[in-house]
Chains A and B, each alone.
Chain A
Amino acid sequence: MLFNSYIFILAFLPLTLIIYFLLGRLPEKNSFNKIFLVLASFVFYGYNHPGYVPIIAGSIVINYLLSQQMLNSNKKALRLALLLIGITGNLGVLFLFKYHDFFAENLNHAFSLHLPLNHWVLPLGISFFTFQQLSYVIDSYTHKVPKYHFLDYSLFVTFFPQLIAGPIVLHSEIVPQFADPKNRHFRSESFAPGLFAFARGLFKKVIVADTFAVAVNAGFGAAHSLNTAEAWFVAVGYTLQLYFDFSGYCDMATGIGLMFNIRIPMNFNSPYKSLNIREFWQRWHMTLSRFLTNYIYFPLGGSRKGLPRTCLNLLIVFLVSGLWHGAGWLFLLWGLMHGIASVLYRLFRKQYDALHPALQWIMTFTFVVIAWIFFRATALQDALAIVKSMFMMDFSPIRTEITSAFALPGGFHPGYNAIYMLLWYILSLGACLGLRNNYENTMSFRPTLWNAALTVILIVYSVLSLSGVSVFLYFNF
């Protein structure tokens, strides 16, 4: 189920909230509200693919049992064995579903082998719930975590707002909140900012990101014939689409979490305001950066083992990040690009920081835009063609497939679409650079008539925009 769907907004979310808080009114010794929320999360998760549910349910049970065994044991050898089982088991499942075919295909190609391909459908959010549980398993080995009730642990993994696309929450952030009896009851102090965040996130996803998506899809579909202006509009368009899509989703997750009195950590902090690549990764998908730092970069030695080793560690972390985003060479390449950029920043930080901030921003933003092309493209040739077009200085007219994505409703002359497009880019980029980010707005929420009206308008407009009537102009019948 998606947040931006009728079934979720009009039925699942209101019903789940009402039933959860009604069950929360029962005496505290009862955990029916949590049982219900776990079951509701399974419904959310398996709505389109019920076959996914046993995978996540099995993963929860096994990881919980392993962790409890480690927490109960003082024998380091046993804990180490259990830790290895936990890590290989989690990564093994992730590998089988997500990476097996990628590696098998490449090995077959490189060595003329005939390794069979699984062609398995990737369970939704497997990368997220695998990483979340890995963090608990690893921390259980070092006895850094308390013993959690199984229901609280299950909610930490399955809690539907963050289940499919993160943020990657840590057990220590979420489980105590579920264990806190105060959170059993409806609180308008949480619900109001939650609804406010949800409305803004929904608007970012449905109206902004999905509008850019139309132009971007048209552009990437014609990657080899773009002129310079088109290539820049497509590349920057994807940069904006991705941000509004993912951060919109995270805003919705934050908002829904708050409606349930659960504070989900910040995942985006206006990343396109960054002046260098290090700052970018401190602001973009922050919970992934945190995970990779804590569980890969630091164990590799971080920056404590000399400059060459630090640079190597950075490259490894970004290659893992690339592979985490998807099983493909272009994701690896994208990760490598960011890794190299991070190493260069590390090596020439003094000189770079001495540049004018405007120049720093232009360099960082341009690099991010170009790197996203490789992230989005389905073939290296397509990505290279777009990058080449960006610097070809061919300023022929922009095709209507791109400009028409920004057409206003009401049948205005299509000649105006290029102007609307320009406005969309200016306003969207301006919002990324000039406005406070949504998380900060949510956490410092003050009830006013203005933001009540804004919330209503954003939700109404977004819900009405979830579907339209496709007019088929079959001119020749």
Chain B
Amino acid sequence: MSIKKWCGLTLGPLILFFLLCIVLIAWIDPFQAYHLATEYLPPVDKTSQVYSNPGIARNYPYDSAIVGTSVTENFHPSYMNSRLGGQFIKLCTSAGTVHNHAVLLDIAFRTHSLRRIVYGLDVYSLVGESNEVTYPLPDYLYTDTFTDDAPYWFNKSVWGTFIPKCLKTWGQTQDESFRDKMYNWANQDEYSVGAIEYTALFESPKQVHTQDAFLEKARNNIETNLLPFITAYPETHFDIFFPPYSAAEWSNMESKGTLEALLALRPLCYDLLSRYENVTLYDFSVRESWVLHGRNYKDTTHYGEWINDAITDCIAGGEEIVIAQETLLDNNDKLRTWAHALHDAGRWIFESD
């Protein structure tokens, strides 16, 4: 074989292969980075959420969004559409930080005109650095440029795992229920006192954090990752809520020595957020019919999807709105009392049903 022929035989297939990869990924696009999937059901999966989220934020039609961690993943956009109006989408990141949410909000506001954001504000998501993300983000999917997408086009997992998943559902199309099912984990677990106690801690803290331990970081997080959107988009309404963890979660904080430090973040949030007309702050943490009933929880934090629907109803009906800092301080007292009672008892002492 001549050396020139050898060069042609290697360079030709290589160039062809690389071009084919680009064309096929641009067409099939398992993460919907370029367009909405119309030929198959996209592999929207919790375990690869940071890869599918930017495409969802960029390419689905919507005018309202649910933002937050795993406790927001069981909202039903179809129900929210009917109760709150508009067209909802989930922009959720399991265990995400406020910066995780901010990078998605950034894409959402750049690509859509938004009327409403329902935002689940976990105190945990405020205690890291303001640029901290829970999982490394594949930056190439979050930028608007096409030229940095090589890790998407030439990616062993995309070709080995995600393209086959797309091909398996080829011919099927997304209907309205697809958005409800997106990231939904509601029917995978048992909801009971036993499930709560399995993840509950009743220990003495190794180290007790002071009340001001996380204040500076939380302030910085809100100022960096939330307020810029609130101030830049006054026509968008932000319904921000403290999620209804079970009372045992606050007892867990007591065991970890973070109870007072985390409780102190709630009045801070009120201080920073309540001054804006386009923000409504809700506190569902002390709704006794939810947080003191074992049947609502799969662990100390995560509640069933019926609670998400109930939260939707509350927002629609204007319930549990925080209109004064004193309300939050009173609620903190309740949470503190429950936490101490559970911690002292070493078991679930509230309703089991």
Contacts and interface: CB of A to CB of B under 8 A. Distances in A.
A447 B301 contact: no
B1 A471 contact: no
Nearest to A459: B14
Contacts of B161: 409, 469
A: contact size bracket: 20 to 34
A6 interface: yes
Interface string B154-190: 1111111110000000000000000000000100000
A476 interface: yes
A195 interface: yes
25 contacts: A6-B151, A6-B154, A188-B3, A188-B4, A188-B6, A189-B3, A192-B10, A195-B10, A409-B156, A448-B1, A449-B1, A451-B6, A452-B6, A456-B10, A460-B17, A463-B18, A463-B154, A464-B159, A468-B157, A469-B48, A471-B48, A473-B47, A476-B199, A477-B95, A477-B301
A303 interface: no
B3 A192 contact: yes
B323 interface: no
A409 B9 contact: no
Interface of B: 1-7, 9-11, 13-14, 17-18, 46-51, 69-70, 94-95, 135-136, 138, 150-151, 154-162, 185, 199, 299, 301-302
Interface string A425-466: 000000000000000000000011101100110011001111
A474 B46 contact: yes
Contacts of B1: 447-449, 452
Interface string A75-89: 000000000000000
A191 interface: yes
A472 B47 contact: yes
A467 interface: yes
A469 B9 CA distance: 31
A469 B140 CA distance: 12
Lowest 5 CB-CB distances: which A-B pairs, in order? Answer: A447-B6, A469-B157, A477-B70, A6-B150, A467-B151
Contacts of B46: 474
B72 to A, nearest CB: 11
A459 B14 CA distance: 8
Nearest to B70: A477
A10 interface: yes
Nearest to B140: A467
Given A195-B11, A467-B151, 11 more contacts: A7-B150, A188-B4, A447-B5, A448-B6, A459-B14, A469-B158, A470-B136, A471-B48, A474-B94, A477-B69, A477-B302
B155 A192 contact: no
B6 A466 contact: no
A10 B154 CA distance: 11
Given A6-B150, A460-B17, A472 B7 contact: no
A467 B157 CA distance: 8
Contacts of B9: 449, 452
Contact of B47 (A455, A468, A471): A471
A192 B135 contact: no
B90 to A, nearest CB: 15
A448 B6 CA distance: 7
Contacts of A465: 156
B50 A472 contact: yes
Contacts of B6: 188, 192, 447-448, 451-452
Contacts of A473: 47
Contact of B155 (A191, A467, A471): A467
